[in-house]
A and B are shown apart, each in its own frame.
Chain A
Amino acid sequence: MTVHTTSPQFKQNATRALHDVQLQKALNNVKQGFIDKRQAAADKLPEFEALRDSARDIKNHTLEHLDLYLEAYEAKVKASGGHVHFARNADEAREIILKICREAGAKTVTKGKSMISEEIGINHYLEANGITPVETDLGEYIIQLRNELPSHIIAPAVHLNASQVEQDFRRVHTHLDAKRDLSEPVQLLTEARAVLRERFLAADVGITGANFLVAETGTSIIVTNEGNGDLTQILPKTHVVLASIEKLVPTLEDVSQLLRVLARSATGQEMSVYTTFSTGPRRPGDADGPENYHVVLIDNGRSSMLGTSFEEMLRCIRCGACMNHCPVYHAVGGHAYGWVYPGPMGAVLTPSLIGVDKAGHLPNASTFCGRCESVCPVRIPLPKLMRHWREREFERHLTPASVRSGLNLWGFFAKRPALYRFATRAAMATLGFAGRRRGRFSWLPLAKGWTKHRDFPAPQGETFQARWQRERSRRTA
């Protein structure tokens, strides 16, 4: 795993993000952009909830038979003239891709947006080996210029504003007139379109991800709004598909179910602009299309998630709805999570992939508000899975000592009702007395985390149980 992680520094990352005025402004776009649109799309389709059930069931069924669907898929790809490669981990995947690029004599490689390619860190590896990778999704292109990770799985540059993009374009596109006007987003888009158009036409290899793989036909599917994924895969001589093994679905009917929830959950569109089904290389007589078609199937930790409570995470179709609806993501953005996958899905997946010892903060940094689960198109119980990580941390004694001892103390009293009543009665009487003048505390020992930002309301003094006992004994007497 060569992609650097700052997940262990989540708290520091978060604090920095909270003080980043520009980032906070950009995060407002997430709050306002995606939520209403998803709701509107869901409201327009009476079958939406039933489709979510259907999508969940299809993924569960596929995962339970994943070995067999992989075999069926592989046979179909081969029959259509394509090549299938299996990679146990990121290292193997990178080597396979490099070998394909070398065989194609590649100098430049265009890339469609692919989270698995971020996960295996392919760009840096190709560069180190003398091959230039060019991200072609507008957002990915921008963050590649900045040498950043995506901050959102479907809107990689959502943390940036237009003037930052302008600065990057001026810094990198030095062959263009320095005095050109780039003050409007549409001018930035037009410039990127022109620059990348040349890259598309010059590329020797095109690498895309896959939203889905269809076992019935040996088909890989990409979904985009820009059309960059299509230009990436039809123009160069060689098309390489990178996909993690859980992208499989059985049939074209099944993928149609999933497509009905994907765009609606992601951007609130009825359907993304381009949904492309690719099967093998160019056919005899075809007017265009790649001559070579390779699929690299990557495990990188997935197979060991099967059969565990984290198997449900493998249903994820990377729509981004969970982060779009997450109050913590809204507060700190994607980079704070410190690795490839942010938000609630990242909080569950990242510990599986890089270890809970490194990513332990992520499943803890949640209020369990449940909004992510309520919008997940494949109904992944994200809070429950985050809690499972907390349980693993607790079992492995990774939970911070302060939390542990606090819990132990609370548990000790809670298991002993008589002692509990005695102790809480005394404590609340004291606290209530101390707070009676103002009704609240702006500082309390042991509660600095709370009182740093807000007051602590004073208790009324007598506990409920004490007063109840008093009043009931009077009543029954």
Chain B
Amino acid sequence: MSARDDILAGIRRSLGVKGSEAIRRQIVQDRLERAPRGVVPARGQVSGEERVGLFKTMAEASLATVTEVGSPGEVPQSIALFLRNHNLPATLRMGDDPRLQAMPWSDTTLEISHGPSGGGDLNAVSHAFGGVAETGTLAMISGPENPSTLNFLPDNHIIVVSAKDITSDYESVWNRVRFSFGKGGMPRTVNWITGPSRSGDIEQTLLLGAHGPRRLHVIVVRE
């Protein structure tokens, strides 16, 4: 017997089932199809301004910095300012996300490069799929236009998120993922990011920038 069949048989022996019981199969099928929501904290169940405000508060609590701009057109200037304020070089790596592509980068003197990171980039910007107000979490999706490496290799990671994509809870993110990728479908990688990289492994001292970005800066686009 193959290891697979042996293990499944062992599980069934222990559970006292055959595996063919229609009712068990139905229960599992139902659960997978209906994907019932469990307990969803009331904290995130707010809308509009309040939701964006909660997102900001929670993201800042996770040691990210957050700024707001009125429209996508203001993002490049905002990033240039952020880099300048932190004495960082005016370089920026990004993917080919059309929302980023459409922004007026030529308004700035930023030196822009495109594509995944090879580990040598200091600063990168990505566009989030969404944000979750409940914990100030950003949801990133991988794809041809959104390299995952940009989320982890650069020292300073800037994430742009549209205010309209900030949802109350994780479950709302999954609904949007299902809408985009079909029920049961997923992009190769979904990254939830809540704050900059950190470690407490040396004497329980919290240190930022363990392997991933030392800084996480979030730009909320109002429009």
Residues of A within 8 A of B (CB): 26, 29-30, 32-33, 45-47, 50-51, 53-54, 58, 61, 64-72, 74, 76, 80, 85-88, 92, 136-139, 142, 155-158, 160-162, 165, 185-186, 188-189, 193, 196-197, 200-201, 215-219, 225-228, 230-231, 234-235, 245, 250-254, 256-257, 259-260, 267, 269-283, 285-289, 297, 299, 303-308
Contacts and interface: CB of A to CB of B under 8 A. Distances in A.
Interface stretch (B69-77, B83-91, B103-111, B195-203): B195-203
Contact of A68 (B25, B42, B137): B25
Nearest to A257: B38
Smallest CB-CB A-B distances: 6 pairs: A227-B212, A226-B210, A139-B201, A287-B147, A306-B14, A303-B10
Given A279-B188, A306-B11, 16 more contacts: A26-B203, A50-B39, A86-B2, A252-B174, A253-B36, A270-B58, A270-B135, A273-B62, A273-B195, A274-B197, A278-B188, A283-B143, A283-B187, A289-B189, A303-B10, A307-B14
Nearest to B35: A251
A225 B192 contact: no
A197 B154 CA distance: 11
Contacts of A186: 207
Contacts of B197: 225-227, 273-274
A193 B209 contact: yes
B147 A157 contact: no
B185 A287 contact: no
Given A26-B203, A29-B203, A256-B174, A287 B115 contact: yes
Nearest to A186: B207
A185 B205 contact: yes
B200 A267 contact: yes
DSSP class of B's interface residues: helix, strand, loop or mixed?
loop
Contacts of A53: 39
27 contacts: A32-B204, A47-B41, A51-B38, A65-B28, A67-B12, A69-B28, A86-B3, A155-B200, A216-B35, A217-B186, A227-B210, A231-B212, A234-B148, A234-B152, A250-B28, A250-B32, A250-B35, A253-B35, A256-B174, A271-B62, A271-B194, A273-B193, A274-B197, A275-B194, A281-B188, A288-B149, A305-B14
B32 A216 contact: yes
A219 B190 CA distance: 10
A219 B186 contact: yes
Contacts of B38: 51, 54, 58, 253-254, 256-257
B10 A277 contact: no
Contacts of B152: 227, 230-231, 234
B159 interface: no
A366 to B, nearest CB: 25
Contacts of A235: 149
A306 B15 contact: yes
B148 A29 contact: no
B41 A303 contact: no
Contact of B209 (A86, A155, A189, A231): A189
Contacts of B7: 70, 86, 88, 245, 297, 299, 303
B179 to A, nearest CB: 13
Contacts of B8: 67, 70-71
Contacts of B43: 45
Contacts of B146: 287
Nearest to B5: A86
Contact of A225 (B36, B40, B148, B210): B210
Nearest to B147: A287
A205 B78 CA distance: 39
Contact of A277 (B115, B171, B186): B186
B148 A288 contact: yes
B24 A68 contact: yes
A228 B198 CA distance: 10
A59 to B, nearest CB: 12
Contact of B144 (A51, A274, A285): A285
B39 A68 contact: no
Nearest to B40: A47
B193 A66 contact: no
Contact of A189 (B95, B148, B210): B210
Given A65-B27, A253-B171, A271-B194, A225 B3 contact: no
Interface in B139-155: 142-149, 151-153
B40 to A, nearest CB: 8
Interface in B91-134: 95, 115-116, 118-119
